[in-house]
Amino acid sequence: MLKHTIIQITDTHLFGDKNRKINGANSYSNLKKVLSHVALSEKPDLIVVTGDLSQDCTFESYQHMANVLNCTGIKYYLLPGNHDDVDVINKVFDFNWVKDKVDYSCDFNNWFISVVDTSVYPEVGGQLSDEQIKKLENNLVKNKNKSTLVFMHHHPIFVNSDWLDEMILKDADKFNKVIQANSQVKAVLFGHIHQVFEKTINSTFYGSTPACCYQVQPNTKTFTIEKLTPGYRVIELNNDGFCSKVVWVE
């Protein structure tokens, strides 16, 4: 049976200065560590980086991202998080992205991948416009016969931490209604919360991926650092379905 592997990396929070740390973590060296680990152990077909690519929105920070990703020789998709300036990303990657509307979808072997842009620069919380929700719905309906993965930055479900739940995707119920009406959506994968949270709603798996820089403690009222170890998610697709696991890079 043909198997295809996708790696999700998220919340790299790079700076223009490679030596600069964020909450004790060197985000640049963590990204390099993670991608070396991926290259040695997983041999993926695709890497998806789900936002908060940069912390300081500098041209140089996105250039570091491009250089490190290009060195892997692995195909990649990106999407913006609340810390990202799409205008600067466009200068490095030549994407022609439109601020707050970076939505795209594509076939991936027998699967369908939909990327939705929940960022509303420079707001910290996430939102999808009615137009974005409609576009997502139309794409899902048109591709109803294909097993689907949805990637995004903000969490569309509550994650049991008061301070993070204030930043939940605005009007998440509208988004979830579309997802739940399309049972071919096997997984909704997101970042932003810098911790692992997994929940299955009906037949759809909702899961976050640990950050590439530092993690925060789950189930807290306020922001509390957990550890500096980076992590990533491996998603294996086959004809029947998918399985996924989180890998920590010590």
C-beta closer to Fe ion: residue 44 or 191: 191
**Residue type, position 160, single letter:** N
What is the b/e burial string over 50-68, where b = at least 16 CB atoms within 10 angstroms of the residue's CB? bbbbbbbbbebbbbbbbeb
Near Fe ion by CB under 5 A: residue from 7, 9, 11, 38: 11
Shortest Cβ distance from residue 239 to Fe ion (Å)?
Answer: 34
Tokens encoding 227? 């550890």
Near Fe ion by CB under 5 A: residue from 30, 82, 118, 215: 82
Shortest Cβ distance from residue 25 to Fe ion (Å)?
Answer: 11
- From CA 78, how far away is CA 84, in angstroms rounded? 11
Count of residues near Fe ion by CB under 5 A: 5
Please list every residue from 38 through 57 that binds Fe ion, using CB under 5 A.
52
Residues 6+ apart with CB under 8 A from 210: 10, 194, 195, 196, 230, 231, 232, 233, 246, 248
Among 28, 32, 20, residue whose Cα is nearest residue 249: 32
Give me Rg for the CA atoms of the chain: 17
C-beta closer to Fe ion: residue 13 or 37: 13
- By rule CB under 5 A, what string of x and - marks binding of each residue 157-196 to Fe ion? -----------------------------------x----
Shortest Cβ distance from residue 163 to Fe ion (Å)?
Answer: 13
C-beta closer to Fe ion: residue 81 or 230: 81
Asked whether 185 and 179 are in contact (CB, 8 A), the reply is yes
From 20-28, 76-84, 104-112, 221-229, give the range in contact with Fe ion by CB under 5 A: 76-84
Task: Give the chain's largest Cα–Cα span.
Answer: 47
Shortest Cβ distance from residue 203 to Fe ion (Å)?
Answer: 27
Shortest Cβ distance from residue 23 to Fe ion (Å)?
Answer: 11
* Residues within the interface to Fe ion (CB under 5 A): 11, 52, 81-82, 192
